[in-house]
Amino acid sequence: MRQCSLLLHAQKILTQDAQRRILEDASLAINDGKIVDIGPRRQLECNWQATRTSDLGNVLILPGLINAHTHAAMTLLRGYADDLPLLQWLEQKIFPREAQLTAELVELFSLLGFAEMLASGTTACLDMYIFEKAVFAAARRAGIRLTAGEGVFGFSSACCACWQDALQYTEELVASTAQESRLKVIVSPHSVYTTDPQILTASLHLAEKLNLPLHLHLSESPQEVAQCQKAHGQSPIAYLSRLGLFSRPTKLAHVVVCSDTDLDILSQAKDTTILHCPGSNMKLASGCARIPLMHQRGLSLALGTDGPASNNQLNMFLEMNRAALLHKLTANDPETMPASTVLDMATLGGARALGHNDLGSLEIGNWADLTALDLSAPNLVPCYEPASHLVYAASGHEVVLTMVEGEILYDHGTFTRFDYESLCREVTKVIASIRKMA
């Protein structure tokens, strides 16, 4: 018999492997945070001696969901300003509030965001914000997997006095996370409309120097495109292409407005991933990204919630549901964006977005990042097709267990690494003092 640290049994395992196998009465063997075997329970029980065995019973285990575009600390501003157009919402409501942020607030509210993610089956995310050292600190406390970068702007932020400082800060992030397998850094110029050619070129050069990808908001609304046409004589996508940004792996949030010419540019780019955020796009009425066409053209697609101030949740089950329904309605075609395609975006697509080829599916050699849903929840009975349930029936509240690298981080309502009640007390205190100031 071979030795492993954990043997996990479940009624069903959705693997997301190349054959999209769904195993019944199955088990996972985990050692050193990685999957060392997966298959029928009887077989694994014969082959593996585990330090610990856990029978989760009537659950569905699936790869941990990956939130490929978010600003976790914006839980601070959840519900603070709703029902406004993007640029007005940002410039009049969000940016002035963010100018008053501190590292302590960012850490506290990022931890709250990570709690919401872990409790709803998300094991990894791609984050862009300010005070990202504090976001990494929160990720260490929660245990979640995080790829993140400091937002680079053409104006000062509460964290960095200028864009040069933000790039310097990005270099410091790399040094401070180098030894941690769960943490990765990405160069994050915020967007075309909050930067200029010099900043974008400097961001590209830093990405080249550190061998990192780039993450930015792009072509999010018709207003942004009109502004870019006026300022630079090109669409945001053509403008980034001219500046050479697509020579690096780029992670592009939104891409709501995308002409046929833009689509050709993206198709020819070496390594781009579109980070689709349907909830945020609908709430801000930014428009509907041409995701089905991008899928047909073979573009790499992932799914994100965006920040909780424009969603207002960090729940990937809700986001999968929105992605499937939005495109069916818009295309007037119920066959558009089937559940399996949307689930791929939230798992394998997310893994590509984070630059991980060892995530997104439950296979030997991959990290044991996974979540388990209680199949006895009334809304999940009966279960003919698990992918259908994940996209159309589950709400995320059926999650009973979430683990990263074989470490259980959320177990039947309890977070294992931090005290959720004291986090809530702290949040209540902070909100009361902010209300007093306002």
- The site for Zn ion (CB under 5 A) is made up of 306
Work out how close the CB of 436 gets to Zn ion at its nearest, in angstroms, rounded to a whole number: 29
Residue 416: exposure state from Cβ atoms within 10 A (0-12, 13-18, ≥19): middle
Closer to Zn ion by Cβ: residue 23 or 72: 72
Work out how close the CB of 68 gets to Zn ion at its nearest, in angstroms, rounded to a whole number: 11
- Is residue 301 within 8 A of residue 331, CB to CB? The reply is no
Work out how close the CB of 72 gets to Zn ion at its nearest, in angstroms, rounded to a whole number: 11
Find all residues with CB under 8 Å of 257, minimum gap 6, and list them.
219, 220, 221, 222, 224, 225, 235, 287
Closer to Zn ion by Cβ: residue 63 or 113: 113
Work out how close the CB of 69 gets to Zn ion at its nearest, in angstroms, rounded to a whole number: 6
Closer to Zn ion by Cβ: residue 306 or 398: 306
Closer to Zn ion by Cβ: residue 224 or 306: 306
State the residue for tokens 């995310």.
125
- Give the residue closest to Zn ion by C-beta: 306
Task: Report residue 130: phi and psi, to 5°.
Answer: -110, 160
HSE value, Cβ hemisphere, 13 Å, CA-based, for 25: 4
Closer to Zn ion by Cβ: residue 132 or 306: 306
Closer to Zn ion by Cβ: residue 62 or 216: 216
Work out how close the CB of 304 gets to Zn ion at its nearest, in angstroms, rounded to a whole number: 8
Rounded to whole angstroms, how far apart are CA atoms 99 and 96?
5
Residue 421: exposure state from Cβ atoms within 10 A (0-12, 13-18, ≥19): exposed
Closer to Zn ion by Cβ: residue 125 or 375: 125
Work out how close the CB of 217 gets to Zn ion at its nearest, in angstroms, rounded to a whole number: 5
Work out how close the CB of 367 gets to Zn ion at its nearest, in angstroms, rounded to a whole number: 26
Closer to Zn ion by Cβ: residue 79 or 378: 79
Work out how close the CB of 220 gets to Zn ion at its nearest, in angstroms, rounded to a whole number: 8
